[in-house]
Amino acid sequence: MSGFAVARQLAAHLCIAGLLLPLPALALPGFSEVKASYVSSEATLLARDGQLIHRLRLDKTVRRQARTPARRDFAGTDPRHHRLRR
47 within a domain of the structure (yes/no): yes
Q: Sorting pLDDT into bands at 50, 70 and 90, what band is 54? A: very high
Residue 71 lies in a domain: no
Count of structural domains within the chain: 1
Burial (Cβ within 10 Å: 0-12, 13-18, ≥19) of residue 38: exposed
* Residue 25, pLDDT score: 57
- In this structure, are residues 74 and 53 in contact, taking their beta carbons and an 8 Å threshold? no
What is the rounded average pLDDT of the residues 74-83?
A: 59
| Domain housing 31 | 3-62
Range 61-70 contact pairs with CB under 8 angstroms and sequence separation of 24 or more: 64/38, 64/39, 64/40, 65/40, 65/41, 66/40, 66/42, 67/35, 67/38, 67/40
* Strand ranges inside the chain, DSSP E: 42-46, 52-57
Q: Give me the pLDDT at residue 13, please.
A: 78
Is the pLDDT at 28 greater than 70, yes or no? yes
